[in-house]
Copies of this chain bind each other. A is one copy, B any other.
Amino acid sequence: MRLTRLYLPTLKEVPAEAEVVSHQLMLRAGMIRKLAAGVYSYLPLGLRALRKVEQIIREEMDRAGGQEVFLPGVQPAELWEESGRWAVFGKELLKFKDRHDRDFCLGPTHEEVITDLVRHEVRSYRQLPLLLYQIQNKFRDEVRPRFGLMRGREFGMKDAYSFDADDAGAERSYQQMYEAYSRIFERCRLRFRPVEAETGAIGGSFSHEFMVLAETGEDSLVSCTACAYAANVERAEIGPARQASPAEPERPLEKVATPGMKTVEEVSRFLGVEPRALIKTLLFETEQGPVAVLVRGDHQLNEGKLRRHLGCDLLALASESMVEELTGAPMGFAGPVGLKARLLADQAIRVVRNGVSGANERDAHLVHVNHPRDFQPATFADLRVAAEGDPCARCGGEQRVSRGIEVGHIFKLGTKYSEAMGATFLDEAGRERPMVMGCYGIGTGRTVAAAIEQNHDEHGIIWPVPLAPYQVYILPINVKQGAQREAAEGLYRELTDQGLEVLLDDRDERPGSKFHDADLIGIPIRITLGDRALKGGRAEVKRREAAAAEEVPLAEVGARVLELVRG
C-alpha cells in the first residue's frame, strides 16, 4: 500500500481525551476515532492490527477443536429471564424495546444465546463434547468508559463456550482452552501471565485471567518468585505469616491515652511504633449479625475473601451508632480485648507480638496486646489483600505484585446455565443430565491496545511482528529523486511478491516528517533509501526497536527483511 493512498490521518498533538499511552498512540497513529463515549471506529491501520489478532485466535480455536459460529448482537429478554440475569446483571446490560414493545438487550456476553442454541440441537452424549466460538462485537454500558479500546462500551471479543457430559470432560475442555490461550498470546509475542481470578457476573466455580504485563495496566497480579502460583490481587491467596524468631517476649498489657488519635497513621506516629504493630478492628453489619475483623495496621482487608469466608450477601461497614453500641466508644477506638462481638482475624494477626489496638474507650489505646493472652478470635483466616513480599500460599516463597492488562478470561461454569435453561442430554445409560459448561473470552481490541501498552517508546508504537498492520516500511528520502524512487518501487514489488505486507512512503514530504510517521505507526522494519547509501548500492535496514540501522546491499535487502520478519 502506498502512503499517498492510505487513509491514515495521523495527529501531531496528543489528544486531550486520551489518558493512557495505547489510547493516545492509536489516535495519533490514525488507527481509531471516537464516535461516542466508549464507542470507536476502526480506521484501516487499526482494523488490520485487529484482524491479525482475530486470525491468530481463529487458528488456535480451530486447532483446539472449536467451530466458529456467529450469534446475534440483539438478544431477547426471555432468555435472560430464564438464566436469572435479566434482573441482576445491572446497568451494564443495555435494555431496549423493539417496535412491538418486546424487551431486548444488546449482548454483553452470549451464555444465554449459546445455551438456547445448543439445548435445541444436542440430545445425546454422542454429540458431546462441543466447543463453539465466535468473534463479534459486544456492548456493555460501562458507567465510565475510558482508556480507548481498553474499557469501551462497544468492543470486540472472541467468546467460546464448551459443553461436556461430565466434570472430567469440562476439566479437559478448560485445560485445552488454557493451553490454546497460552499459544495465542505467545503467537502475538506478548509477555503475559495466566492468573487465578474471580468469576464476577459470569459466575461459575473457577477462572483464570490472562494478563499482558504492563506497568500501565489497570489490574494488579500477584505471582510467586519461587513457584508457578499467580493470581489476580482480588483473588490471590496468602500463606501463613511466619513468627519472628526468636519471638519477642510478651510484655504486660497497658492502656495509654491517645487523645483524638483514630487512624493507623495518627496512632503509630503518636506512639512511635510501625503501622505493622497495630491491630485494626473493622466492624461490619451482616445478615448474620455484627462481625469484628482484625487486620494488621499495614495490611488491607480483602472484602471478597471476607464475604466468601462468611458466606454472607450483606457486608457493610458498621454505622457510627452501631460502633458505639458494640464498643462503648466512638469510632476509631475499637479493639479486640473484651469486645463483645463475633471476632475474626486475618492470619497475620496470630503472630503480632506486643501489638497496639483500640481500648474500646474514647481517646485510649492498649499497647502490648498479645494473642491468645488478651483476645481469642473465633477463626484465623486469609482475609487480606496480597501485597509485595507476602508469603506464597502454595510454597511459602515470596510473592511479587505486578501490573497487567486482562486480555483473556476463562471460566468453569459448571451447570449454572444448563440447569437454569434446561440444556440437558441423555447419557449412555439414557438418563437426562445437564451439560457441564465452560466459557472463554478474549478482548480482541483490548489485546491490540495491550500490545501497544507493552511495546512502545517516546516516538510511538513498536509492533510485535505478528500484530503489525504492515511488516515493512519503505522510506525513500526524496521521491523526486529518480534513483531513490526506482529503488523504492523495485523493493516494494519484490517484497510484496514475497508475501510481505509493505507500506511505501511515496509522499513528497520532508524526510523528518516521514521518519516521524514511520516511528509513530511502529512498522517493525524500515528500509530507508537515501542518496549516500544508494551510491554504494546499499539501503538502510532498521528494526523499529533497534537504536541503529544496518547497511545492506540492495540485492540482499529482501532476504535480510524476510529473516528479520521470520526471526
Contacts and interface: CB of A to CB of B under 8 A. Distances in A.
Contact of A41 (B6, B33, B72): B72
A316 B541 CA distance: 73
Given A7-B132, A94-B96, A41 B67 contact: no
Contacts of A39: 72, 74, 76
Nearest to A9: B121
A44 B66 CA distance: 10
Nearest to A10: B121
A42 interface: yes
Contacts of A47: 68-70
Q: Quick one: copies of this chain in the complex? A: 2
A131 to B, nearest CB: 9
Interface in A58-80: 65, 67-76
A7 B163 CA distance: 12
A91 B95 CA distance: 17
Contacts of A71: 35, 41-42
A117 B74 contact: no
Interface string A231-268: 00000000000000000000000000000000000000
A554 interface: no
Contacts of A154: 72-74
Contacts of A6: 67
B91 A69 contact: no
A116 B70 contact: no
Contacts of A153: 74, 98
A5 interface: yes
Contacts of A70: 41-42, 47, 50
A132 B104 CA distance: 31
Interface residues of A, number: 50
Contacts of A98: 94, 141, 153
Contacts of A69: 7, 41-44, 47
Contacts of A94: 96, 98-99
A566 interface: no
Interface in A24-62: 33, 35-36, 39-44, 47, 50
Contacts of A99: 91, 94, 141, 143
B33 A120 contact: yes
A106 B73 CA distance: 10
A213 to B, nearest CB: 28
A291 interface: no
Interface string A108-144: 0000010011001110000000101000010101010
Contacts of A132: 7
Contacts of A96: 94-97
Interface in A262-320: none
A67 B7 contact: yes
Nearest to A90: B99
A68 B51 CA distance: 11
A74 B139 contact: yes
A503 B183 CA distance: 27
Given A69-B41, A96-B96, A36 B74 contact: yes
A154 B72 CA distance: 7
A35 B104 CA distance: 11
Contacts of A141: 98-99
A301 B73 CA distance: 42
A67 B44 contact: yes
Contacts of A137: 72-73
A395 to B, nearest CB: 41
A97 B113 CA distance: 23
A33 B118 CA distance: 10
A7 B153 CA distance: 32
A154 B136 CA distance: 13
A153 B102 CA distance: 14
A121 B99 CA distance: 36
A75 B73 CA distance: 15
Kindly name the residue among A6, A9, A36, A154 whose own CB sees the greatest number of chain B CB atoms within 10 A: A36
A113 B33 CA distance: 11
A403 B91 CA distance: 48
A94 B97 CA distance: 8
Interface in A454-468: none
Contacts of A120: 33
A302 B122 CA distance: 51
Interface in A150-199: 153-154
A483 to B, nearest CB: 26
A256 B42 CA distance: 73
Q: Which residue, A9, A50, A72, A137, has most C-beta atoms of chain B within 10 A? A: A72
Given A35-B76, A41-B72, 8 more contacts: A7-B67, A9-B121, A35-B75, A35-B117, A39-B74, A44-B67, A47-B70, A96-B96
16 contacts: A7-B130, A9-B121, A33-B117, A33-B120, A35-B76, A36-B75, A36-B102, A36-B104, A41-B69, A41-B70, A41-B117, A43-B69, A47-B70, A72-B154, A73-B73, A95-B96
A-B pairs with the 4 shortest C-beta distances?
Answer: A96-B96, A9-B121, A42-B70, A36-B76
